Amino acid sequence: MSQALARIRPVQRAVPIERDEGEPRPLSRREKAAIIVRLLLAEGAPLPLTALPEDMQEGLAEQMARMRTIDRATMTAVVEEFVGELEAVGLSFPGGLEGALAVMDGHISPTAATRLRRQAGAKGDPWERLVTMPAESLLKVLEEESVEVAAVMLSKLPVPKAADLLGKLPGEKARRVAYAVSMTGSVEPETVRRIGISLLTQLDAEPARAFTATPVERVGAILNVSAATTRDDVLKGLDETDAAFAEQVRKAIFTFQHVPRRLLARDVPKVARVVDQGRLVTVVAAASTRPDLSEGVEFLLSNMSQRLAQALREDAMARGRVKDKEAEEAMNSVVAGIRQLEVAGELVLVVEGEAD
């Protein structure tokens, strides 16, 4: 938005505020907001208007519908006033309770945050918060609730999220809920509000988790950077005690041996940039005496710049024999780099067994 304003502002300043067309005419703040929004949209600036309360969005749209043309002097004055107000801002706060809690996340207890959310839900519109909740949380409630309540929930949610949730319900219930949506026309607003409060209470009643990751993800992450012998021993023990859990952990594990099958060739240069070059040299050197590393090493070398690949080969030859412990540490560095890129959204690992 600032870039768009920068493009607008110099043009407007080149035009005197007082010209033949007369002085700027007085406008309400809503009219000024409509002018700024119209200018920014014309410049292609992304405007997160959905973050505004719905009544403000509606008021803005209605105001824009009533307006026709604005003379240049008035437009210039509005832009100058708006830019001046922006430059005078020293600190801004997030709007609404959810914005405040997002800023304070990790600094107040989950219990206090839950209590504040409950109080806000009881006083205001519970659906303002429900529509922002992740689909996974809503699905749990949707599966347990009656068809009628599920129909009200889907009717209040944004269409894409409602469609996603409907597709995750069992076929029979999905059909019943879809039909029940057609019967929600006569539901009173107060009933919808009470349903929202009830759903919000259920979701807030879930105890706070000590760990954000699931047990499978945590065990998999630990085994990812464990020595191969340790990993094999642990998985063997898990097979004996809980075969189903062991199978899930195996799917969560990503080791150096998985690199050729799960890392896309186009992402290899990204990995080469984030992993210490000394670690890459160690892995390449280790492959000369460990056939189990050859496939992964050749995959990496063949998909990075040939200049870098040649340099790694030459340094690996000079390095000589590598101890198993050093090789394990180097492989873990490569895996950690790939996981780092995955978490940052810079690459997506292929799921074994899925079609390309």
Band of pLDDT at residue 356, cut at 50, 70 and 90: very low
pLDDT tens for each residue of 172-202:
888 898 888 888 888 888 888 888 888 877 7
Residue 108 scores a pLDDT above 50: yes
Residue 264 scores a pLDDT above 90: yes
Contact 182, 217 (CB under 8 A): no
Domain positions in the chain are: 29-68, 125-204, 254-344
Mean pLDDT for 250-276 is 90
Residue 105 scores a pLDDT above 50: yes
Q: Domain 125-204 falls in which CATH fold?
A: Annexin V; domain 1 (1.10.220)
Could you give phi then psi for residue 22, rounded to 5 degrees? 100, 180
Residue 55 scores a pLDDT above 80: no
146: its two tokens:
């009656």
pLDDT tens for each residue of 268-300:
999 999 999 999 999 999 999 999 899 999 999
Q: How many CA atoms lie within 13 A of 27 on its CB side?
A: 24
Residue 133 CB coordination number (10 Å): 15
Q: Is the whole model's pTM more than 0.85, yes or no? A: no
Mean pLDDT for 39-47 is 83
Instruction: Say whether 254-344 and 125-204 share the same fold.
Output: yes
pLDDT at 316: 94
Q: How far apart are CA 62 and CA 59, in angstroms?
A: 5
Angle between helices 171-181 and 147-156 (to 10 degrees): 70
Mean pLDDT for 81-108 is 76
Mean pLDDT for 227-237 is 85
**Bridge partners, residue 19, by sequence:** 22
| Multiple choice CATH, 254-344, 1.10.220.30, 3.30.43.10, 1.10.8.350, 3.40.50.620 | 1.10.220.30
pLDDT at 252: 80
Give the SS3 label for residue 25: coil
Residue 249 scores a pLDDT above 80: yes
pLDDT at 19: 41
Share of the chain above pLDDT 70, in %: 83
Give the SS3 label for residue 22: strand
Residue scoring higher pLDDT (110 or 308): 308
pLDDT at 9: 53
